[in-house]
Amino acid sequence: MWIIFFILAAEIAVPALSVLDVMPKNGTELLLPTNSFQVNKDNRIAIARQAVFVTPQKIIPLQIRCVINCLQKTVANVEAIFKVEFSTMSLPTPKQTPTYKWKLFRKNTKQNILTLPEDNTKPDVKLSAGLLEEDVSYHLEVILDNLNGYDKSYAILDLKTNKAPENGSCTVDPMNGTAVNTFNVNCFDWQDPDGIWKYVIVFEVKENRFIIDETSK
Ligand SMILES: *[C@@H]1O[C@H](CO)[C@@H](O)[C@H](O)[C@H]1NC(C)=O
Ligand SMILES: *[C@@H]1O[C@H](CO)[C@@H](O)[C@H](O)[C@H]1NC(C)=O
Ligand SMILES: *[C@@H]1O[C@H](CO)[C@@H](O)[C@H](O)[C@H]1NC(C)=O
């Protein structure tokens, strides 16, 4: 039995816990929201207690693994692929076809970004380029269902997207020239909390792009 404490102050709405936030992992662990409730209004505080009974479940331990676009932070404008991985056991035999219900939320607002159809049987999910925004935290969830004799199994992954470097500029000298000129490119003042990895100098003719130099900082 688990006890969840809600501290309630008058006239302040407490964000609702979604079922998944408190879904226990086979009676062994209770997932609580990362931010605990700390609601203060002058000195009026009320405490409500709610007991939650957890029934042991027959689940399949799983986790979400990144397949493509797997830097510490996800690059927002590049496709990303994630896949379900079974941590300690493979799917039970006789082999059945489980369904994977994927959902992607913005972490703070819980705004739903993507929901795959419930009958989806593919163990991977593709987040197409441009679906994610820069510098945002997301929750990626998957629920494995439709396996006879098993309860729904659940995994969640926190994603944070990267942000482009900012505050800098670049100069080219000379501005005008011919094929025999040497052009000097200077980039300065670019800032990024994760550091600048490299500078890529690209030459563009109509729709075509040619990388002419790559330098690490
Ligand atoms: C979950 O708990 C039940 C009851 O204790 C147990 O029979 C089952 O094997 C457990 N499942 C997993 C995946 O740990
Ligand atoms: C570069 O050439 C163009 C076209 O001839 C001219 O208008 C411009 O002023 C030149 N810029 C510089 C920096 O010389
Ligand atoms: C860019 O400059 C602004 C204004 O000075 C600053 O608030 C911001 O943190 C800077 N960005 C980075 C990545 O350092």
Residue extents of the structural domains in the chain = 2-54, 63-160, 169-216
Average pLDDT over residues 117-122: 84
Distance 50 CA to ligand 1 centre (A): 25
Please give the residue that has the higher pLDDT: either 157 or 52: 157
Residues within 6 Å of ligand 2 by CB: 175-176
- Extract the tokens encoding 202: 């690209």
Q: What does pTM read for this prediction?
A: 0.59
- Could you read off the pLDDT of 34-91 as tens digits, one per residue? 434 555 667 766 555 554 555 666 778 889 999 999 988 998 889 999 999 886 566 6
pLDDT digits (tens, 9 = 90+) for 159-210: 999 988 899 999 999 999 888 888 888 888 999 888 888 888 888 888 888 8
Please write down the long-range contacts of 127-130, taking CB distance under 8 Å and 24 or more positions apart.
Answer: 127/74, 127/79, 127/80, 127/81, 127/82, 128/79, 129/77, 129/78, 129/79, 130/76, 130/77
Residue (of 144, 111, 139) closest to 127 by Cα position: 139
Whose CA is closest to atom 6 on ligand 2? 176
Could you tell me the CA-to-CA distances from 212 to 8, 35, 49 in Å, in that order? Answer: 61, 48, 65
Query: Residue holding tokens 């990303």?
Result: 80
> Rounded to the nearest whole angstrom, what is the distance from the C-alpha of residue 93 to the centroid of ligand 1?
17
Structure token digits, residue 178: 């011919």
- Number of helices and strands in the chain (H, E): 0, 13
CATH topology of domain 63-160: Immunoglobulin-like (2.60.40)
Any atom of ligand 3 within 6 Å of the Cβ of 79: no
| Closest atom of ligand 2 relative to the 175 alpha carbon | 13
Q: Residue 19's Cα: distance from chain center in Å? A: 19
The CB of 141 under 6 Å from ligand 3? The reply is no
Report the pLDDT value the prediction gives residue 167, as an integer from 0 to 100: 93
pLDDT at 22 over 60: no
- Whether the pLDDT of residue 31 is over 60: the answer is no
Cα–Cα distance for residue pair 36/9, rounded to 1 Å? 14
